[in-house]
Amino acid sequence: MLKMMGRLCFAHKTALAPMVRVGTLPMRLLALDYGADIVYCEELIDIKMAQCERVVNDVLETVDFVAPDERVMFRTCSKEKGRVVFQMGTADPERALVVAKLVENDVAAVDVNMGCPKEYSTKGGMGSALLSDPEKIEAILSTLVNGISKPVTCKIRILPTLEDTVNLVKRIEKTGVAAIAVHGRMKEERPRHPVHCDYIQAVAESVSIPVIANGGSSDIVKTFEDIEKFRAAAGASSVMLARAAMWNPSIFRQQGALSVEEVMEDYIRYAVRYDNNPFNTKYCLCQMLRDRVESPFGKRLHAAQTNEEICEVFGMTDFYNKTKAELEARKAALQTNGDQTEQPTHEDDLITMPVRFERRDYPPQITPKMYLLEWSRKEKLDQPVYETEQRTQDRAFQSTVIIDNKKYRSALWEKSKKFAEQAAAIVCLRTLGLPEGRIGEEHSGLVNKRKRDDKKCAALDDSESAARKRHTSEVPQEEEEEMICRTKVVNGVCGQTTR
């Protein structure tokens, strides 16, 4: 019974449906502001999510799930924590569980997409492709229900016959899911086809758990009052809106919808505050514009490439500047406090410090490893040696740099080998009180940007040319900083030594 306390209830609710490229954080928060009870994120594929690292973003006050290429795959915040449902695309029970465990403490529930008919979802047996494999459906849902503490739901489309649809949802109910969302169309049907409310009603009558009706945006739901009409027509417990909410999320307002212009400005405020990807911001705004997207205003919006340029189109430049200044001030304060608390820990011959390498904190083509290399040359020491370990469970890396017979390591694990080596270099430089090349740091003269064209290489003095030849005759700058590196995998098979 303890497991049930505080769980999200799906009965008598209105929900923002999962929509690819639409259901990101700004849209979810906007829907909640306007009256939605529950918001679903866009479908996120399990393979991509399983590679993500959970990162607390103190500047934005969010929790980010960051891919190895540094893309934020899923971003959430405390404002939606008790009402956001994480939807995943999966065809593998064990991989689904890995992802669910990764996010379960930051979301209210986990949903499995079994209804999307688009190729990006059905490839690999995901989305509506699962509807033809009820055994796999049962395996995925049972594994999730038994493996995590949060409610598990699924979203399906109806099958060609009413009998098959009812039989499927009865099997789904037995897995222990908390609710079933039903899009009242078959996987071959599109929005131009009428929604089959009779199928949804039959499903609702055949199970004891809440059924969420979906698919009424074209035929039924035009206003807030229509939400109840759709719920009644489908005989469902709750209603989930997709396109109607995408066009104007204020449809959730009991007092009536706002103008699209006002809604777009509200959306932009969240997009800037939470540093939303500008192309995602623009996409969502264009969906709200609908047939006006080809107007002069729409074309100006479409030409914008950054959130700042989007704000210019809407006359919100002052808001943008104020918000960015607030975020920069918070970042500076956190960095100052972080520098005060990052004290090195000594253990035998190893010095550790909890630091991360943030690429955005350094100028292009300048890194801590370059600073450490140049310092070692200046002091006539052997070049730094990096030893890197990789954890098998999450593929994270941790490096130790050895220089002047001392070892330095960050206590934190990084998403890539290069970042782990940079973090180790930072620990060494900070311990020794040396510059590391951060933006805003007083110029030290240790490292200067150098172009690699033939004229400048020819102009190098003989001693520097000789030093370069020990590495290679023409070394790109990012390779020049690569010192002797050794990599091994911890809790797994040892990897080979690399240079």
The neighbour count for residue 179, using CB atoms within 10 Å, is 27
Distance CA 7, CA 38 (A): 13
What order do you get walking across the sheet with 350-353 strand by strand?
345-347, 350-353, 406-410, 397-403, 385-391, 484-490
The neighbour count for residue 45, using CB atoms within 10 Å, is 20
Element spanning 484, H or E: strand 484-490
φ/ψ (deg, to 5) at 85:
-110, 130
Tokens 């934190």 correspond to 412
Q: Which of 116, 154, 311, 485 is catalytic?
A: 116
Q: Which positions ≥6 away from 142 have C-beta within 8 Å?
A: 93, 175, 176
Catalytic annotation present for 116: yes
Give start and end residues of each alpha helix (H) in 90-241: 93-103, 119-122, 134-147, 162-174, 197-206, 224-234
Please measure the distance between the N-terminal and C-terminal CA atoms of the chain and give it in whole angstroms.
Answer: 56
Q: For the stretch 254-289, what's the b/e string if a residue is b when 16 or more beta carbons lie within 10 angstroms of its beta carbon?
A: eeebbebeebbbbbbbbbbbbbbebebbbebbebbb
DSSP string, 211-233: EEEE--TTTT-SSHHHHHHHHHH
The catalytic residues are 116
